[in-house]
Chain A
Amino acid sequence: MARSPLEYRTDVWVDWCPGCGNFGILAAMYKALGELRLPPDKTVIVSGIGCSSKTPHFIKVNGVHTLHGRAIPFALGIKLANPELTVIVNGGDGDLLGIGVGHLVALGRRNLDITVLLHDNRVYGLTKGQASPTLDRGLRPKALPKPNIHDAVNPIALALASGFTFVARGYALMAEHLKELIKMAVRHRGAAIIDILQPCVTYNNIHTAEYYQRRIYRLEEGVWDPVVRDPAERREKMLNAFSKAFEDGDKIPIGVFYQDPARDTMVDRFAERLPKYLESPPAHQKIEDEGRPIIDGEIFRKIFSNYVVETE
């Protein structure tokens, strides 16, 4: 039985602009969390800075609203110290692909079991409409004094190249579809990212709801199988995903681009080195006994015997 999405609402007023794409994403999250029955105390939403990064305050699970661009490394520490927690990152395109893009790449390399929800509206909202890293060159949304001088980064291709093992794209105004993607991403073992296209009603007068409505189609409607079922398929599936990633313009695909469920995660990698890692992760280890360190003089002498010189 799913939990009611209402169980995940806080009483904090949601202060996004009326009509903001973030509302659709938030609605999809409430539903996805409910259907996944995620226990609020074992779930952590970590965010950066920006409109979308206010999300943790609106969801009744643990919330960590961090610094611009740094949600991923905060999430990294949380997940590695306590792998039983479900960790979800919410951040904008400026946050995750601009100032924090190095961390996004590093998360892929680690394939750590974290879900990244990338709110992609191609502008910086809170600072009044500047170009974000997903805005194409030459475009000029209404707040820009001059057309954008930078080329856009392709979030799907970047995620694939970085090593994310679940890469998808959703659309904020197709909440039911997005909810399913979020559920898949959270269930996926490994680094997962959903590039969520969203209109910014205040500053982006180019990529509007109408713009997306005309272009978006679902990958799963055609012949499309993004799942790697055998390591031998990796290359082919990855190349297919790259090819789809660059399909832009008149038709914009949404859905799962790539999924490789068998790759070991960073938690697996540590568990291999530290046999009790899962049963006793950093957060749960006993480090003292009635106020005394668990390492006494005798144990210390044994642990560091390599440094001890017995004198003549």
Chain B
Amino acid sequence: MNMRKEVSLIVGGPQGAGLETTAQLLTASLARMRYGVISDREYFSNIVGRHSYIHLRASSEEIPRSLTYPIQIIGAMDHETVFTHFGDIEAGGAIVYDLSTEDKSLDNIPSMEKDLTSRLRQLFSSLGLDGSIRGLIRHVSSEMKVLPVALNYPELIMRIAEKISLPAAQAPRYVSAVVYGAIAALLGLSFNGIDYAIKMRFRERGDIVSINRMIVGEVYQMVKDKYDLPFSLQPSGLDHSEIMVVSGNDSIAMGKIVAGLRFQSYYPITPAADESFTLEANERISVEGVDLGAITVLQTEDEIAAMASAIGAALTGARAATCTSGPGFSLMVEGLGWAGMNEVPVVVTYYQRGGPSTGQPTRGSQSDLLFALHASHGEFPRIVITSGDHLEAFYDSIEAFNLAERYQMPVIHLLDKFLANSIATMPLPKLDHVRIERGKLVKEAVGERKRFDSSYPIPPRYLLGSGAITYHAGDEHDEMGHIDEDPENREKIYRRRMEKLRLADEEVPEEKRVFYYGDEAAEVLLVGWGFVKGVALDAIEELKRDGIRAAYMHLKFFSPFPSRFAKKMLEKFEAGKVISVEHNYLAQAAVVVKIHTDVKIERNIVKYTGRPIYLSELVGAVKKILGGERRVVLTHGP
């Protein structure tokens, strides 16, 4: 049997049916067998019932950095999943579905968006299909040699439920276990790995562990016996002995804890809130009964209060942050300006989602770059850092605090939903080289002190409670912090405030702010930021196999912008061979590049549907650009 190097699959079902659990189980069991995993979670702003899915890619050779189509397996918890995703399956793939839904028809799926229903209806009529699951399965198995893995979910669960006298009402919650068991078998995962994952997921809840083991075990054996494990992954070539399974929200929360975060305020918002949950779950940092510290995590009445209270905490010397998404950040910007004016080191962890307005609350986006850079009235310096993957985000969240304190200004750590909600395997971070830099912190002082002493580029930072007496004001102030509108004072204090960013630009090495990946002699340059990194890196490798030498310039800092490095790189390429790749309409990073380097990026590949850029579509788009197109708009993904 030919074993696979990697596999891509989708598990779908109604929101609230345990999909996230399935993703965690799959990831953990794959991780247990040393496979690298990345998975994206796509869902609606809804608690129960709307279609949600996990798109997962696992590899025996590396930790995958991107998602791609087509997929080899669909694990369908319901018939809507089959209808929604069958078009993305590779010839020879497999669909795990519920035999008891065979007669279900496309015509009666209230949760499906009308647009999709009507597109499918049109397609089915052109193919001569009757719109039932039975018809569709027959079609894909004959036309595309797709393997139908038909299991009668209710019957299966009831059979086991009777054995252990599980109340019938509880049966539906084990559908995810059936799908998980079937996929695990198709992938040829070891039962040991499956067992490990179940125990890891449910921990102390012994009853749930045993029921899941029974159902998963039964389905696993059944599928294993019936099919010859057609998608078995080859043994992993990765050689780590342990690995983490984390979401982006988790890895950032962990980074903040290592950074010494001691106060986090937040108002609930998707896709940021999970970070605060992870922090709160770990509020007491204690190891073997020894308390190493504690984080005060506060849910506030709104984002305005989240920002204001984080600033207040920072004034006392606590490392303080808030986390939010676009609508919340919109409310925070007045506070951001106050932090800029009063030189307060506060960190805003900003997970972008689709805008404008409520936009697409649960979908990804990179459309807030210009907003993050310019939000709030007036001029003040800020640092804006973005991160390309889970591990980068971990380290960046520590760096955010160091820079905030060193330069006494707000730092925006700009991320996106793609990263926030992707569950991936991540190596344990190396902490040997991590430093905590607290800048010009004054913990003890006496009497009235000039908090804004203009004789320094960056003044000593007297804390509230340090013994000093200090004043702060959102009004323009003198060195003491009292309101002062004198023109000479204004010029002096304004200039010093603004010059801090120039200082940061001089001191923070550009090699830490922008990265060049790929062949020095490449002919094509992709330019991107944030979560685009993974797919861009995979794309340049794939393009290389097709004879196209491409490189990727990863922008990490947008303020202070690494203009010299970026300009030097950009100028090596022909104008028509530089392509910006972004999740927004305007190609916003290209706008920033133009401002700072005077280089105009004339080609772009953009996607603003809220779904990630897939490797398959990015490679195709680059080829189109090389074929003469100026702009390619990507739309793949349900």
* A102 near B244: Cβ-Cβ < 8 Å: no
Q: How far is the CB of A249 from chain B (nearest CB, A)?
A: 33
A54–B284 Cα distance when bound, in Å, is 39
- Chain A positions 257-311 with a Cβ under 8 Å from a chain B Cβ: 270, 273-277, 280-288, 291-297, 299-304, 306-311
B512 beta carbon closer than 8 Å to chain A: no
Tally of chain B residues near chain A (CB < 8 A) = 93
* B283 near A273: Cβ-Cβ < 8 Å: yes
Tell me if B's interface is mostly helix, strand, loop or mixed: mixed
Q: Name which of B5-13, B107-115, B463-471, B575-583 contacts chain A.
A: B463-471
A5 beta carbon closer than 8 Å to chain B: no
A41–B465 Cα distance when bound, in Å, is 6
* B193 near A312: Cβ-Cβ < 8 Å: yes
* B312 near A75: Cβ-Cβ < 8 Å: yes
A1 beta carbon closer than 8 Å to chain B: no
Q: Name which of B30-38, B531-539, B542-550 contacts chain A.
A: B30-38
* B288 near A309: Cβ-Cβ < 8 Å: no
Q: How far is the CB of A285 from chain B (nearest CB, A)?
A: 5
Q: How far is the CB of A108 from chain B (nearest CB, A)?
A: 11
* A311 near B242: Cβ-Cβ < 8 Å: yes
A216 beta carbon closer than 8 Å to chain B: no
Q: How far is the CB of B410 from chain A (nearest CB, A)?
A: 14
* B436 near A293: Cβ-Cβ < 8 Å: yes
Tier of interface size on chain A: 35 or more
A74 beta carbon closer than 8 Å to chain B: yes
* B32 near A105: Cβ-Cβ < 8 Å: no
Chain B residues whose CB sits within 8 angstroms of the CB of A276 once the complex forms: 291, 294
Chain B residues whose CB sits within 8 angstroms of the CB of A49 once the complex forms: 474
A106–B469 Cα distance when bound, in Å, is 28
Chain A residues whose CB sits within 8 angstroms of the CB of B126 once the complex forms: none
* A288 near B436: Cβ-Cβ < 8 Å: yes
* A62 near B308: Cβ-Cβ < 8 Å: no
A223 beta carbon closer than 8 Å to chain B: no
Knowing A78-B464, A283-B465 touch, does A288 contact B471 (C-beta < 8 A)? no
* A307 near B250: Cβ-Cβ < 8 Å: yes
* B292 near A295: Cβ-Cβ < 8 Å: yes
A64 beta carbon closer than 8 Å to chain B: yes
* B318 near A285: Cβ-Cβ < 8 Å: yes
Q: Which residue of chain A has the shortest Cβ distance to B283 in the bound complex?
A: A274
Chain B residues whose CB sits within 8 angstroms of the CB of A285 once the complex forms: 260, 262, 293-294, 318
* A312 near B190: Cβ-Cβ < 8 Å: yes
B305 beta carbon closer than 8 Å to chain A: yes
Q: Which residue of chain B has the shortest Cβ distance to A46 in the bound complex?
A: B312
A75–B319 Cα distance when bound, in Å, is 16
A56 beta carbon closer than 8 Å to chain B: yes
* B296 near A304: Cβ-Cβ < 8 Å: no
Q: How far is the CB of A106 from chain B (nearest CB, A)?
A: 4
Chain B residues whose CB sits within 8 angstroms of the CB of A303 once the complex forms: 257, 282, 285, 287
Q: Which residue of chain A has the shortest Cβ distance to B246 in the bound complex?
A: A307
A49–B473 Cα distance when bound, in Å, is 10
Q: How far is the CB of B396 from chain A (nearest CB, A)?
A: 15
B334 beta carbon closer than 8 Å to chain A: yes
A44 beta carbon closer than 8 Å to chain B: yes
* B312 near A293: Cβ-Cβ < 8 Å: no
Q: Name which of B96-104, B475-483, B590-598 contacts chain A.
A: B475-483
* B301 near A103: Cβ-Cβ < 8 Å: yes
| A65 touches which of B192, B315, B475 (Cβ 8 Å) | B475
* A78 near B334: Cβ-Cβ < 8 Å: no
- Chain B positions 408-449 with a Cβ under 8 Å from a chain A Cβ: 425, 428-432, 434-438, 446, 448
Knowing A65-B475, A105-B301 touch, does A283 contact B316 (C-beta < 8 A)? yes
Knowing A62-B470, A64-B472, A80-B313 touch, does A295 contact B243 (C-beta < 8 A)? no
* B473 near A65: Cβ-Cβ < 8 Å: yes
B182 beta carbon closer than 8 Å to chain A: no
Knowing A12-B482, A74-B309 touch, does A311 contact B318 (C-beta < 8 A)? no
Knowing A77-B311, A302-B288, A309-B245 touch, does A65 contact B320 (C-beta < 8 A)? no
Contact with B along A158-180 (1 / 0, CB 8 A): 00000000000000000000000
- The winner among A77, A282, A283, A312 for most chain B CB atoms within 10 A is A77
Chain B residues whose CB sits within 8 angstroms of the CB of A284 once the complex forms: 317
* A74 near B311: Cβ-Cβ < 8 Å: yes
A139–B193 Cα distance when bound, in Å, is 75
B304 beta carbon closer than 8 Å to chain A: yes
Q: How far is the CB of B446 from chain A (nearest CB, A)?
A: 8
A12–B483 Cα distance when bound, in Å, is 9
B215 beta carbon closer than 8 Å to chain A: no
Q: Which residue of chain B has the shortest Cβ distance to A56 in the bound complex?
A: B471
* A80 near B315: Cβ-Cβ < 8 Å: no
Knowing A60-B469, A63-B471, A75-B312 touch, does A309 contact B283 (C-beta < 8 A)? no
Q: Which residue of chain B has the shortest Cβ distance to A47 in the bound complex?
A: B473
A81 beta carbon closer than 8 Å to chain B: yes
- Chain B positions 272-311 with a Cβ under 8 Å from a chain A Cβ: 282-285, 287-288, 291-296, 298, 300-302, 304-311
A77–B308 Cα distance when bound, in Å, is 7
| B308 touches which of A41, A73, A274, A288 (Cβ 8 Å) | A73
A8–B473 Cα distance when bound, in Å, is 19
* A282 near B262: Cβ-Cβ < 8 Å: yes
Knowing A60-B448, A292-B435 touch, does A85 contact B474 (C-beta < 8 A)? no
A31 beta carbon closer than 8 Å to chain B: no
Knowing A77-B308, A291-B435, A293-B260 touch, does A283 contact B463 (C-beta < 8 A)? yes
Q: How far is the CB of B101 from chain A (nearest CB, A)?
A: 34
| A41 touches which of B242, B307, B468 (Cβ 8 Å) | B468
* B243 near A80: Cβ-Cβ < 8 Å: no
A42 beta carbon closer than 8 Å to chain B: yes
* B313 near A287: Cβ-Cβ < 8 Å: no
* B315 near A270: Cβ-Cβ < 8 Å: no
A204 beta carbon closer than 8 Å to chain B: no
- Chain A positions 26-76 with a Cβ under 8 Å from a chain B Cβ: 40-42, 44, 46, 49, 54, 56-57, 60-67, 70, 72-76
B contact residues vs A (CB 8 Å cutoff): 28, 31-34, 190, 192-193, 196, 200, 203, 240-246, 250, 254, 257-260, 262-263, 265, 282-285, 287-288, 291-296, 298, 300-302, 304-320, 334-335, 338, 398, 425, 428-432, 434-438, 446, 448, 463-475, 481-483
A-B contact pairs, 6 of them (CB 8 A): A63-B481, A64-B464, A65-B471, A73-B304, A275-B291, A283-B313
Among all A-B residue pairs, the 3 with the closest Cβ atoms: A77-B312, A287-B260, A77-B309
